[in-house]
Amino acid sequence: MNTFGQLLRVTTFGESHGPAIGCVVDGCPPGLAVAAEDFVPDLARRATGRSRHTSQRREADVVEILSGVHEGATTGTPIALLIRNTDARSRDYAAIADSFRPGHADYTYWQKYGRRDPAGGGRASARETTMRVAAGVIAKKWLAERFGVRVRACVSQIGTHLPQAFDWDAVAGNPLSWPCAAQVAELEAAMDALRKSGDSVGAKVTVRADGVPPGWGEPVYGKLGAELAAAMMSINAVKGVEIGDGFGVVDTPGSEHRDEADAAGFFSNHAGGILGGISTGQPLLCHVAFKPTSSLRLPARGLDVEGNEVQVVTTGRHDPCVGLRAPPICEAMMALVLMDQALRHRAQCGDVGEVRPRIPTPP
């Protein structure tokens, strides 16, 4: 399945070393201003080759709008976006074309389809996330203009490193998307040492949406948290998702976990902005765990397609920490889920209007 969403449906297609990658966004309401320049900032944040801490593949990632936009605004018909691949180097994959990288989808694609496109990992490449980010730009724009919703993300753990302070304003100013400026030099040195060692490391990404009105999300199937978790888990290399306090709820007493409120607003947000699958109006909070990249030049034991035991060595241009490029991807997935849920809410409950009392959300 390469499609997700109900009223806002996104389909992505293309392989990392094919001629192009693309997406179709269907269900966007008409009249939203969309131009090719809108995609540039988020695609640049996600792209390879923009810092020494990522893969050095250099793609311009220029979006061509093929349909669904007329005279600068969406028409309500499917929006098709295309990005041409220009810097694929398939020879890097010749040595591992007939073997499986331990910890990589090489093996499971082979088991499922009985064949695979080995060059660049095909659909299993992080390159696929480019089109999620492009689709997410449309959702972010609609959510911001229609409801004032703002979605942002940062890297909140790299290996064992945790932020010593948390300042959203620090995130855009460093190549690690890290919320504590004072730690960046030390973390960059750690990333340099890691890259030289040939190993990789995992990362946690924190995603937050402000301004989500109460009431979005379905109460049983299609819970907002369930759809967010599914959307995040569909990103390559994601192995865990937490909403609000996540696994921290296990050892927290109920008297502490419940988010009390008075007339001035909520005192806490342990729920991460969701109760019963429906938004509370508090910030939506989600944490996403990215595994350490499996494409390593350090030799590993594995099998080839004939079942022979072989030593697998991956050369080429790879990310020592793929989570570093993930904040715009997680933002896109959250925005796409929210826009879909907003449209579904409008379809069923659009006549309900604002319900009283509404608990304010403190800044």
Footprint on this chain of ligand EPS (rule: CB under 6 A): 16, 48, 55, 57, 59, 88, 92, 120-121, 125-127, 130, 295, 316-318
Rounded to a whole number of angstroms, the minimum distance from the CB of residue 179 to ligand EPS is 23
Phi, psi of 179 (to 5 degrees): -85, 5
Check residue 159 and give left, alpha or beta (phi > 0: left; psi -120 to 50: alpha): left
Rounded to a whole number of angstroms, the minimum distance from the CB of residue 286 to ligand EPS is 22
Rounded to a whole number of angstroms, the minimum distance from the CB of residue 209 to ligand EPS is 24
Rounded to a whole number of angstroms, the minimum distance from the CB of residue 191 to ligand EPS is 16
Which is closer to ligand EPS, CB of 261 or CB of 300? Answer: 300
Which is closer to ligand EPS, CB of 296 or CB of 342? Answer: 296
Rounded to a whole number of angstroms, the minimum distance from the CB of residue 30 to ligand EPS is 31
How many CB atoms are located within 10 Å of the residue 114 CB?
7
Which is closer to ligand EPS, CB of 317 or CB of 346? Answer: 317
> Residues near 273 by Cβ (< 8 Å), separated by ≥ 6?
209, 212, 244, 279, 280, 281, 282, 283, 284, 285
Which is closer to ligand EPS, CB of 48 or CB of 174? Answer: 48
Phi, psi of 353 (to 5 degrees): 75, -170
Which is closer to ligand EPS, CB of 45 or CB of 318? Answer: 318
Which is closer to ligand EPS, CB of 149 or CB of 296? Answer: 296
Q: Exposed, middle or buried by CB within 10 Å (0-12, 13-18, 19+), for 111?
A: exposed
Rounded to a whole number of angstroms, the minimum distance from the CB of residue 94 to ligand EPS is 12
Contact 259, 272 (CB under 8 A): no
Closest to 341 (Cα-Cα) out of 206, 252, 231, 251: 231
Buried b (16+ CB within 10 A) or exposed e, 168-204: eebbeebbbbbbbeebeeebbebbeebbeeeebbbbb
Which is closer to ligand EPS, CB of 55 or CB of 279? Answer: 55
Phi, psi of 20 (to 5 degrees): -160, 165
Q: Is the dihedral of CA 80, 83, 84, 89 positive or negative?
A: negative
Rounded to a whole number of angstroms, the minimum distance from the CB of residue 40 to ligand EPS is 15
